Structure 1
Amino acid sequence: MGDEGERGDGSDAGGRAQDGERGGGGGVGFGDGACDDRLDGRDALGEAGDGRLDVGDDVGIEGFAEMPGLAAEAGIASTRRNPVQTRRFAEAGGLLAKTDKLDARMLSDYGRRFTPAPDQPPCRQRERIAALARRRDQLVEARAREARHLGEAFDPDVIADIEAAVACLAKRIATIEAVIASAIAEADAATAATFAILRSAPGVGPVTALTLIAHLPELGGRSPKTIASLAGLAPRNNDSGTRRGRRPIRGGRPRVRKALYMAALGAIRAAPRFKAFYSAIAARSGSRKLAVIAAARKLLTILNAMQRDQKAYA
């Protein structure tokens, strides 16, 4: 498994990501129901009023990652929402305080107000692959950080220690990559087929395919515009009156955007179709980075269609 998704400066290919931002929660339009000071996983799910439960990332309780699975096992539909959005919803009602009680009631009101569509029940195998992928990313980041320290070191003992740390991290990365490969091989047929389909596209290596499986489970089930927004590759209007501002990309999932940015670079080099598309955009816009981002979105649109139709790249 190579590092095609971790080199270069593709990390700033998009704007600030919001998926991972933490936010507090207030409450809006509270009901009269009581709420205990201590919340367990079931209490922290905000009732949407029609059998759905709204899971907010901003509820500070232990074991939150298990809550969607617990809800699915109980036959309760749930959805995870961006904590920035739920916090702004609370502030829009003029309530700035934050407690577990207020968070639970606010999420309940949020669910009734917006009736968000429930998420698909979590797949244990995909969750395991996602956890392994996140751990690999952490180890790769730690290795890159140590390598940067090596460029600043001058003392022989410090250099030796850093080199030992880099070697140790390289071994751990290789070990977890072997575990990931085993997990994919042992996964259900749909996951294995998805991995093979994604790998058939130009520029998509094992790391990019793994990243999409782990962090973009909606691939193949959403429209091109929606999937681009989830990946942080959708331009956002910035207009006011007669002014027409630049359309920056922002939000979305930074790890997915970074992987697709690097994959697009490979696709531009390997596939004439993407090279011609990149050259046309670069000539028209005068920006090579903008052209790479456009190629990344085009690649994502193609991957989305491939996964939807269960067909390899042709």
Structure 2
Amino acid sequence: MNTKLKQCLGIDVSKENLSISLGLLDFNLKKEFISHPDISNDSRGFKVLLEWLKKILIKDVEYIIVMEATGVYHQAVCHYLYNQGYNVSVMQSGRVTRFVQSLDQRSKTDALDSRMLSMLGLERSLRSWTPPSKELQELKALSRERSSLLKDKNAEINRQGAIDSSCYSSSKASKRHITRLRLINEQIEAIEKEMQVLVSKTTTLKSRIVYLESIPGISFISAATVVGETLGFESISSAKQHTSFAGYDVILRESGNFKGKTKISKKGNSHIRAVLHMPSMTCVRCNPTLKQFYRRLKPQKARPIVALVAVQRKILILMFTLWKNETYYDAKYENKKQQELKALAAHDSIMV
């Protein structure tokens, strides 16, 4: 009865090291874990990991390698193992955190984290990871660079305002700030042109981004940024998962007499939330469906920004739907849907 049912290698990734733990599940649903000393997160460590895997993995037994998405530090080992033919799954941090909380695991070390990842792979059916295309990776890098420059631009504008308002303002300092601001604007324009050239050269990417641009109020930059940040919605399988990925999932905390207020978690991709702010303000003016949605929701909220965030969430779901279905935006879709529901209700009443 020692026959193994499943095996999973959990890898906790840091900038310098990889902490690894192999979990084994037998037919009695008992788990056994085999640890290995930490290895370096570089090509030398990857070779050590590969040799260990060849020795330790049981042939003809289902396996998966699980790691958590940690910025850019997991990418090298993830691509390496995939290229070696191994089945890899990359988990979003929020899902891993919720799994660990369900186990009441209070201590936190790299070794424990790798064991939790291996346990997650043993108990759950996980989606295999496939590397995104080179174009999507480059689009994401350009999107991140543009986002960073926009923050620098706002900082420089604030500094310029402080210099101009100061009693001891210096004309030379003001000129230097203006020069830096001009340089940042030029770099932002250059990046946006690179994004357009990159998309125009990729036929599939170009045709699918057009679907997102068909939403009134959504520009090319907004659509390209969302596609780049999600790597073409590669690891997203539902609208609910998408909103959670961007931090738009709604949470409510109540206990006893304490009545909390609903709010978004913000535990997700902040770049997507930032790029959807201005389009949402445009959509509530020119998009017939979202304009009606905003006007209906605004009186029910304490502040208009809450209704605006709801519009952003709706835009994100809409973009995901159009991308997956490969279809253009239909402003009359909601009306058609309501008419179909009314027709079904009328048919049901007649049948009764």
Q: Same fold (TM over 0.5)?
A: yes
134-143 vs 76-85, which moves further: 76-85
Instruction: Quote the offset at 1:234 in angstroms.
Output: 2.2
Alignment partner of 1:51 out of 34, 42, 63: 63
Q: Which 5+ residue runs of structure 1 have no aligned equivalent?
A: 1-21
Q: Secondary structure at the match of 2:327?
A: coil
Q: Displacement of 1:272 after TM fit?
A: 2.7
Using structure 1 for the length normalisation, give the TM-score.
0.77
Taking a change above 3 Å as real, the CA distance of residues 300 and 106 of structure 1, as seen in their structure-2 partners, is closer
74 and 220 in structure 1: CA distance in 2 versus 1, 3 angstrom threshold: closer
1:66: how far off? 2.8
Question: Relative contact order: is structure 1 or structure 2 higher (C-alpha 8 Å, sep ≥ 6)?
Answer: 1
Which residue does the alignment assign to 1:158? 173
Amino acid paired to 1:38: S
**Pairing 1:183–2:198 present:** yes
Distance 1:124 1:77, change over 3 A: farther
Distance in 2 of aligned mates of 1:263 and 1:112: 42
More strand, by proportion: 2
**Deviation at residue 297 of structure 1 after TM alignment:** 1.9
1:146 and 2:156 equivalent? Answer: yes
Q: 1:310 Cα deviation (Å)?
A: 0.9
Matched, 1:130 2:140: yes
The offset of 1:301, in angstroms, is 2.4
Alignment of structure 1 residues 15-164 onto 2, 5 Å: 31-39=33-41, 40-41=45-46, 43=49, 50-57=62-69, 64-83=74-93, 86=96, 89=100, 92-98=104-110, 104-153=114-163, 154-164=169-179
Rg larger in 1 or in 2? 2
Distance 1:175 1:236 in 2: 39
SS in structure 2 at match of 1:35: strand
Distance 2:312 2:116 in 1: 37
d(CA) in 2 for partners of 1:221, 1:63: 21
Counterpart CA distance in 2 for 1:112 and 1:210 is 36
**Which residues of structure 2 form unaligned runs of 5+?**
1-14, 24-30, 164-168, 331-352
Asked whether the equivalents of residues 20 and 38 of structure 2 are also in contact (C-alpha less than 8 Å), the reply is no
- Counterpart of 1:268 in structure 2 is 284
**Offset at residue 106 of structure 1 (A):** 4.7
Give how far 1:37 is off: 4.2
Aligned to 1:204: 218
Hey, what's the Cα distance between the residues in 2 that align with 1:230 and 1:168?
33
Q: CA RMSD in A?
A: 3.5
| TM-score (normalised: structure 2) | 0.70
One-letter code of the match for 2:237? R
Larger deviation: 232-241 or 271-280?
A: 232-241
Identical pairs, percent: 18
Aligned residues: 286
Are the equivalent residues in 1 in contact too, given 2:20–2:37 (CA < 8 A)? no
- Residues 129 and 180 in structure 1, CA contact (< 8 A), matched pair in contact too: yes
By how many angstroms is 1:165 displaced? 0.7
Q: How many angstroms does 1:139 deviate by?
A: 1.7
State whether residues 219 and 304 of structure 1, in contact with CA within 8 Å, keep that contact through their aligned partners in structure 2: no
Question: CA offsets, 1:50-82, max 9 Å, x none?
Answer: 3321123459xx963333333332333323334
With over 3 angstroms needed to count, the CA separation of the structure-2 counterparts of 1:171 and 1:260, relative to structure 1, is closer
Structure 1's 263 and 206: CA in aligned 2 closer, same or farther, altered over 3 A?
same
1:186 CA drift (Å):
1.5
Which shifted more, 129-138 or 28-37?
28-37
Measured against aligned partners, the alpha-carbon deviations of 1:231-274 in whole angstroms (never above 9, x if no partner) come to 22221232335765322111221111222232211111112322
- Residue 289 of structure 1 pairs with residue 305 of structure 2: yes
* CA deviation profile, 1:139-169 (whole Å, cap 9, x unmatched): 2221221111111112111111111111111
Is this contact kept in 2: 1:198–1:312, CA < 8 A? yes
Structure 1 Cα separation of the partners of residues 320 and 95 of structure 2: 26
Residues 50 and 150 of structure 1: CA distance in aligned 2, closer, same or farther (over 3 Å): farther
Per the TM alignment, residue 222 of structure 1 is displaced from its structure 2 partner at its CA by: 2.9
